[in-house]
Amino acid sequence: MKRVLLASCTGLALSLGGCATANAQDVETAAAATAPSPAPAGPALWKVSDEDTTIYLFGTVHVLPKDVEWYDEDIAAALESADTLVTEIPADAMNDPALQTTIMGKAMLPQDQSLRDLLSEEDRTVYEAALAKLGMPPAAFDRFEPWFAGMTMAVLPLMQKGYDPASGVEKVVEAAASETAKRGALETADQQIDLFDTLPQESQIEFLMASARDLDGLVTMMDEMVAEWLEGDADGLAEIMNRGLTDPVVAAALLYQRNERWAEWIDERMDEPGAVFIAVGAGHLAGEQSVQDYLRSRDIEVTRVQ
């Protein structure tokens, strides 16, 4: 479960974690983690094309240590050739003050409910111990829904160890893209919030407890996933993710259904001429029921560029 979160967690999700931290208590930031060494192959890049349309598919990591180098010539050439950059959500979505209000409104439990009251005695003990490891009081997330607390609990250890949303791949891609290139998005920020907010409560709690049970392993796991991404090893990334696909409801909501919708979007976009660079979480471009799988089911050939 936690692997699905780390692999598919969106830029919005990482920003959501910051909202919760501000409403709980400040967490002391530890020294930056040692970044995995990039391999010569570089992060994976695919394309689909016909006589007048080329669409590049690039898998991103939404949060990285500051000193990771990954932007190579092949990625730069593809991005420079694009007249349109498409990301999961609009690049400026999190700058909208109204969105922060929406986030916190959906993340809050009803006044008569407490997060810890939703947990079994055993889960509550594990959960409170995890909060203590983060230097946070037991009541820190009592007002939040399980999905929001779980997301925040997964992100905080990464940020404590030097992972930074400001170093995320989307930030670099957005800055490197031509100013004249059009900007587009596959989803809205509200839609991404609803992905989590509409999960069944049972799945939300498992989502939360997956992080709480293995809090110490989250950074190691993310290091492994980043290493596979830097090597361009989509199969290796998928193997790591598949170990955590324990809840089919969460996997379908966060990965498979979205992959299918995005493949449909790409199929329709192929009817328009031009060059498009699509940057989405690397988990969507790895393993079974990936975006590429759904494209192939539509008889669209997908070619690995690097």
User: Residue 32 has what pLDDT?
Assistant: 34
Say if pTM beats, i.e. exceeds, 0.85.
yes
Q: How high is the mean pLDDT in each 10-residue block of the chain (306 residues)?
A: 54 50 39 38 95 98 92 97 97 83 92 97 98 96 97 92 91 94 96 94 94 91 94 92 79 95 99 98 94 98 96
Q: Are 178 and 240 in contact (CB under 8 A)?
A: no
Residue ranges making up the domain that contains 158: 2-304
Number of domains forming the structure of the chain: 1
| Surface-to-core class of residue 23, CB atoms within 10 Å of its CB (0-12 exposed, 13-18 middle, 19+ buried) | middle
Contacts of 85 (CB under 8 A, 6+ apart): 79, 173, 174, 177, 181, 182, 183, 184, 276, 277, 279
Quote the pLDDT of residue 7: 54
